[in-house]
């Protein structure tokens, strides 16, 4: 029988009524002849509550116990979903990560999936089970301890199951009805996309779009798992939502597919660094060890053997970056005159696979920003993306201007 993976996020299973609504959607797919693997998140707000309890009990907590506690939210949802389906006369059974088993690394709190053996679920499907309700976000380490996959891990769980069980498709049910050309809360002209390529979705996810977790898109792209993003709160429709698929499955696409933004960025500049071989490694090695997520990097022209090095990172990592650089300077591995942090910037990006074959995208982007009086501080590009750092107060204006310039409201 064909298989389908359906993932329901926290808002989709926030209470018993919403669990019943989700179960009805599962029942419809079972009636079509699918064997269904349902991946569930914890009820909305439950994971935050559990994390709060852990921090209140033990600020310097044991990560193994953290995972044991925080993963329990998904267990509750899985059991309730299975019971609801059984009440609908749909043969269903709940599964915790260790029962599947979903095998992971031992990096508690941020484990990575290593293997999902299919034998246990396959055997139950052969015995007549129609729905396996699996607790998302969790697995089991080589030592036999419960692990969690990090925030958004249920999306990753769903894609991994779709790949392992060769599902026809992986449907991600959430509180939005698809992927938009930009955030509808910023531009009322934002348009829902019918299809988007894996590469575009990956860029948008990494650049601030909150619809899908980056790791889940990476996994889907690697194993060519078709993803469909759709709302739990709208009527069922075979053409609903946005399909994330391979580029060859998209007949014709716009040059630019979307405008993404990250509000809380910081621009940091090391002034007067020695311009010598190995200086970049001496700077970014300590930043990496400190857990600073560096994005854009710009090195100025060298003058008298000295140069300035600029990079961007999230605002909440500025203090960590400053300490890492101060420690590196104190140890003598680098020498710089000053470290200047601008914590009032935002990153705005345009993304589209059409950039590979169309010239002039950068020029159009820069002209649109110039027309609105928006000054660009840093620019970086890739094959299908152009990102700029600008003053945060101009972020929404820039997003709207770029959305208009590339006529993204048009299909």
The per-residue pLDDT for range 32-74, each reduced to its tens digit, is 999 999 999 999 999 999 999 999 999 899 999 999 999 999 9
Q: 95: which 2 tokens?
A: 């599964």
Residue 194 domain-assigned?
A: no
Q: Do residues 268 and 396 both lie within one domain?
A: yes
Rg (CA), the chain: 23
The pLDDT of residue 303 is: 83
Choosing from 120, 141, 175, the residue where a domain stops is: 175
**Binding site per annotation, positions:** 7-10, 47, 74, 174-175, 180, 185, 210-211
Annotated binding-site positions for substrate: 47, 74
Lowest mean pLDDT among 152-161, 202-211, 310-319, 390-399: 202-211
CATH of the domain at 13: 3.40.1160.10
Whether residue 272 is found in the same domain as residue 150: no
CB 270 within 8 A of CB 283: yes
Number of DSSP helices (H) and strands (E) in the chain, helices first: 12, 18
Quick one: which of 77, 93, 85 has its CA closest to 135? 77
Is residue 311's pLDDT more than 70?
A: yes
Q: Could you tell me if 273 and 162 lie in one domain?
A: no
170 and 263 belong to one structural domain: no
Same domain, 171 and 265: no
Residues 144, 51 share a domain? yes
Residues 188-234: tens digit of each pLDDT: 898 999 899 999 998 888 776 667 888 899 999 999 999 999 988 88
Q: State the Cα–Cα distance between residues 332 and 18, nearest whole angstrom.
A: 59
**Per-residue three-class SS string for 54-79:** HHHHCCCCCHHHHHHHHCHHHHHHHH
- 152 and 263 housed in the same domain: no
Q: Is there a single domain that holds both residue 267 and residue 405?
A: yes
CATH of the domain at 352: 3.30.2130.10
What is the bridge-based pairing of β-strands 92-95 and 131-135?
Answer: parallel
Judge whether 266 lies within some domain.
yes
This prediction's pTM: 0.82
Is residue 234 in a domain?
no
For residue 244, tell me if it sits in a domain: no
Considering 144, 175, 206, which residue would you say is the last residue of a domain?
175
**How far apart are alpha carbons 223 and 234 in whole angstroms?**
29
How many structural domains comprise the chain?
2
Q: What separation, in Å, do the N-terminal and C-terminal C-alpha atoms of the chain show?
A: 36
Torsion angle defined by CA atoms of residues 128, 133, 139 and 140, in that order, rounded to the nearest 10 degrees? -40
Q: How far is CA 291 from the centre of its chain?
A: 18
**Does 108 fall in a domain?**
yes
| Residue 398 domain-assigned (yes or no) | yes
CB count in 10 Å sphere of residue 276:
12
Choose the final residue of a domain: 175, 191, 221: 175
With a CB cutoff of 8 Å and minimum separation 6, the contacts of 237 are none
For the residues of 218-231, what is the DSSP string, one character each? HHHHHHT--EEEEE
Structure tokens, 407:
């006529």
The tokens of 131 are what? 């729905």
Could you give the angle at which helices 198-206 and 214-223 cross, rounded to 10 degrees? 160
Question: How is residue 102 annotated by DSSP?
Answer: -
Q: Which residues are annotated as a binding site for ATP?
A: 7-10, 174-175, 180, 185, 210-211
Q: Please indicate, yes or no, if residue 161 is contained in any of the structural domains.
A: yes
Pairing of β 92-95 and β 35-40: unpaired
Q: How far is CA 131 from the centre of its chain?
A: 27
321-345 per-position pLDDT tens digit:
999 999 999 999 999 999 999 999 9
User: Does residue 258 surpass a pLDDT of 90?
Assistant: yes
Is-contact 40 136, C-beta < 8 A? yes
State how far the Cα of 173 lies from the Cα of 154, in Å rounded to an integer.
11
- H runs (alpha helix) in 1-45: 16-31
Concatenating the DSSP letter of every residue in 282-333 gives HHHHHHHHTT-----EEEPPPBTTEEEEEEEEEGGGHHHHHHHHHHHHHHTS
Q: CA separation (Å) from 65 to 49, 97, 108?
A: 15, 16, 9
Instruction: Flag whether 187 is in a domain.
Output: no
Domain assignment of residue 268, given as a range: 259-410
- Is residue 138 located within the same domain as residue 40? yes
Mean pLDDT value across residues 154-183: 92
């Amino acid at each position: 029988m064909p298989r389908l993976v359906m993932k329901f996020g926290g808002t989709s299973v926030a209470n018993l009524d919403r669990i019943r609504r989700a179960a009805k959607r599962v029942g419809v797919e079972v009636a079509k002849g699918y064997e269904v693997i349902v991946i569930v998140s914890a009820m909305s707000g439950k994971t935050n509550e559990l994390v709060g309890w852990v921090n209140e009990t033990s600020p310097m907590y044991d990560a193994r116990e953290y995972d044991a506690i925080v993963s329990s939210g998904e267990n509750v949802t899985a059991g309730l979903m299975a019971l609801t389906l059984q009440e609908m006369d749909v043969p269903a059974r709940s599964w915790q990560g260790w029962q599947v088993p979903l095998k992971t690394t031992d990096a508690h709190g941020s484990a990575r999936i290593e293997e999902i053996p299919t034998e246990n679920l396959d055997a139950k499907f052969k015995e007549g089970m129609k729905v396996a309700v699996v607790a998302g976000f969790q697995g089991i380490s080589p030592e036999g301890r419960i692990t969690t996959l990090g925030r958004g891990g249920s999306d990753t769980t769903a894609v991994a199951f779709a790949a392992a069980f060769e599902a026809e498709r992986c449907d991600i049910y959430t509180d939005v009805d698809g992927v938009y050309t930009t955030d509808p809360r910023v531009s009322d002209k934002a348009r829902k996309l019918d299809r988007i390529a894996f590469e575009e979705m990956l860029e948008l996810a990494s650049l601030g779009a909150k619809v899908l977790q980056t790791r889940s898109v990476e996994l889907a792209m690697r194993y060519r798992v078709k993803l469909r993003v759709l709302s739990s709160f709208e009527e069922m429709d075979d053409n609903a939502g946005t399909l994330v698929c391979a580029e060859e499955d998209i007949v014709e696409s716009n040059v630019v597919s979307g405008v993404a933004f990250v509000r809380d960025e910081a621009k940091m500049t090391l002034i007067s660094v020695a311009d010598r071989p190995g200086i970049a490694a001496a700077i970014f090695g300590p930043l990496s060890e400190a857990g600073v997520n560096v994005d854009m990097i710009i090195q100025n022209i060298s003058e008298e053997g000295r140069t300035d090095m600029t990079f961007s990172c999230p605002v909440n990592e500025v203090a960590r970056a400053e300490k890492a650089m101060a420690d590196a300077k104190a140890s003598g591995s680098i020498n710089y005159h000053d470290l200047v942090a601008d914590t009032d910037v935002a990153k705005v990006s345009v993304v589209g696979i059409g950039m590979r074959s169309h010239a002039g995208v950068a020029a159009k982007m820069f002209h649109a920003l110039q027309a609105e009086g928006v000054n660009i501080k840093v620019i970086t590009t890739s094959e299908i993306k152009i990102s700029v750092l600008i003053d945060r107060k101009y972020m929404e204006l820039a997003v709207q201007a770029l959305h208009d310039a590339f006529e993204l409201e048009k299909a």
